[in-house]
Amino acid sequence: MSTSGSMPASGSTPAPGSKSAPDASRRSERSRRAIFDAALALVSENGYARTTVEGIAARAGVGKQTIYRWWPSKAAVLLDAFLDLQDRAVEAMGGDAGSEIPDTGDLAADLKQVLRATVDEMNDPAFELPTRALAAEGITDPDLGARFTEALLEPQLQHYVRRIEAAREAGEVDPGTDPRLAVELLVGPLHHRWIHRTLPLTHAYADALVDHVLRGLAPRG
Amino acid sequence: MSTSGSMPASGSTPAPGSKSAPDASRRSERSRRAIFDAALALVSENGYARTTVEGIAARAGVGKQTIYRWWPSKAAVLLDAFLDLQDRAVEAMGGDAGSEIPDTGDLAADLKQVLRATVDEMNDPAFELPTRALAAEGITDPDLGARFTEALLEPQLQHYVRRIEAAREAGEVDPGTDPRLAVELLVGPLHHRWIHRTLPLTHAYADALVDHVLRGLAPRG
């Protein structure tokens, strides 16, 4: 899930020039964790524009050059911090980072499980505040928005697309179903409530969305 | 549609203390137009945070006190500028400002007409740039976001709700239809594409959305 080739993956890549690989690896992992936590905290508190690599380094207790050794820019650090945040959220819900949507053979149950977890995530301040800061920046900065959409959003949408393609294969939805459109019908309303804070995001709402969308996708006899 | 009781409506309310009502009314309307244009231009160019009442006044060629006579704050001017922008967009499409969604008795045709017009609006830079600036600010500022949602977004959503309620009365959709959920299924995916710039917003997409959503709402025999 890394977007920068030189970023240390969790404990697996010793920092360049290290003499003792295991110790350096532990130090790298600690630094990586501290940098991500600092980046997410600062972007939550001050917004994207006022977050700097210098500020992240100071808060994380590392040198600025440590960050620049692994990431080329502020945007790259934040992108990896968000990917890591997503992975941890998935793991906290009992899944594997980067894992597919479950396929128990019951599309409605599988989608409800994932949308309920998404609702929980959207309601969790640890996730919500930095994600709002990032979304706000991506809305007005097309380049940054495109990078975030490509690296963070599209991989998630593709998980849904593949689950709905599998359901189409299995005859659970109509053969004429457009999986991409179906996915947008599921996640679009959730995002709309979240971004514009119109009405509460609840498990009952997630369930109702799934039921309504699947009714429209039912095989036509 | 005004959100500030003292704002001059289009030519109908002379400025306080005017001696010659028609002349003052024309001057008020010219000032109002200049203030709205300046506010939308500045927020597009510099973002919400860096737009000031002083800057709007300078760009509009009016005194700061002229703005403060009609609006209590920057947020209030921008809110009215957006309401005015929306009204003009509706008028440019041949509708009446603040008008309901047409009811020709053909729900699919009526919704496609409105969603296609929404797509055109979202693709129009004159609308898109200030709206993105406002949306970005509303995402991270809960108070401002709540004001914009209440004054700008909810009235639009209620137009859809009433049209779907009418369709339910007419037996065009299932009696168990939740109009609010149906509306979110229509507008949520459009907003998702627009905000995250995932895929193009086209008339074909608007039509496909309407067809998919209405299939899920069809009366169950």
Task: Render pLDDT for A134-153 as a digit per residue (tens, 0 to 9).
Answer: 888 889 888 889 988 998 89
How much is the average pLDDT of B111-136?
Answer: 91
- Return the pLDDT at A96: 67
Separation CA B180–CA A192 (nearest Å): 13
Among B195, B201, B205, B215, the strongest candidate for a mutation testing the A interface, having the largest count of A CBs within 10 A, is: B195
Domain co-membership, B63 together with B11: yes
The answer to ipTM > 0.95 is: no
- Return the pLDDT at B25: 82
Q: Is residue B181 part of a domain?
A: yes
Residue numbers in B near A145 (CB within 8 A): 196-197
Question: B46-102: per-residue pLDDT in tens?
Answer: 888 889 999 999 999 999 999 999 999 888 899 899 989 888 877 776 666 567 899
- Return the pLDDT at B182: 97
Domain co-membership, A47 together with A146: no
- Which residue among B73, B90, B117 closes a domain? B73
Give yes or no for residue B148 having a pLDDT over 70. yes
Q: Is residue B16 part of a domain?
A: yes
- Return the pLDDT at A140: 87
Q: Is residue B90 part of a domain?
A: no
**Amino acid of residue A72:** P
Quickly list DSSP for A191-205.
HHHHHHT-S---HHH
| Cβ neighbours of A151 (radius 10 Å) | 17
Q: List the single residue in A with minimal CA-CA distance to B206.
A: A181
Contact B140 A154 (CB under 8 A): no
CATH of the domain at B125: 1.10.357.10
Distance between A138 CA and the closest CA of chain B, angstroms? 8
Domain co-membership, A127 together with A167: yes
Domain co-membership, A24 together with A73: yes
Domain of residue A36: give its range.
1-99
CB A149 within 8 A of CB A138: yes
Domain co-membership, B109 together with B205: yes
Residue numbers in A near B192 (CB within 8 A): 184, 187-188, 191-192
Q: Which residue has the higher pLDDT, B126 or A165?
A: A165
Domain co-membership, A58 together with A123: no
Contact A191 B188 (CB under 8 A): yes
Residue numbers in B near A132 (CB within 8 A): 139-140
Percent of chain A with pLDDT over 70: 86
Contact A133 B154 (CB under 8 A): no
Contact B140 A133 (CB under 8 A): yes
Q: How distant is the alpha carbon of residue B127 from its chain centre? A: 9
How much is the average pLDDT of B6-27?
Answer: 54
The pLDDT-based confidence of B20 (bands split at 50, 70, 90) is low
Q: Is residue B139 part of a domain?
A: yes
Contact B136 A137 (CB under 8 A): yes
Residue numbers in B near A137 (CB within 8 A): 136
The pLDDT-based confidence of A8 (bands split at 50, 70, 90) is very low
Q: Is residue B67 part of a domain?
A: yes
Query: Which residue in the set B140, B196, B216 is minimally distant from A216, CB to CB?
Result: B216
Domain co-membership, A149 together with A211: yes
- Return the pLDDT at A126: 85
Q: How many domains does chain A have?
A: 2
- Which residue among B55, B73, B91 closes a domain? B73
Q: How distant is the alpha carbon of residue B93 from its chain centre? A: 13
- Which residue among A99, A129, A153 closes a domain? A99
Separation CA B184–CA B161 (nearest Å): 10
Q: List the single residue in A with minimal CA-CA distance to B154.
A: A198
Domain co-membership, B126 together with B189: yes
Report chain A's mean pLDDT, rounded to a whole number: 87
Domain co-membership, A194 together with A115: yes
CATH of the domain at B47: 1.10.10.60
Domain co-membership, A93 together with A110: no
Query: Which residue in the set A139, A181, A212 is minimally distant from B195, CB to CB?
Result: A139
Q: Which helix (H) or strand (E) holds B208?
A: helix B203-217
Tokens of A66: 């440590």
Q: Is residue B84 part of a domain?
A: no
Contact B185 A212 (CB under 8 A): yes
Q: Is residue B3 part of a domain?
A: yes
**Amino acid of residue B94:** G
Domain co-membership, A36 together with A133: no
Q: Is residue B94 part of a domain?
A: no
Domain co-membership, A92 together with A123: no
The pLDDT-based confidence of A19 (bands split at 50, 70, 90) is low
Q: List the single residue in B with minimal CA-CA distance to A146.
A: B197
Report chain B's mean pLDDT, rounded to a whole number: 87
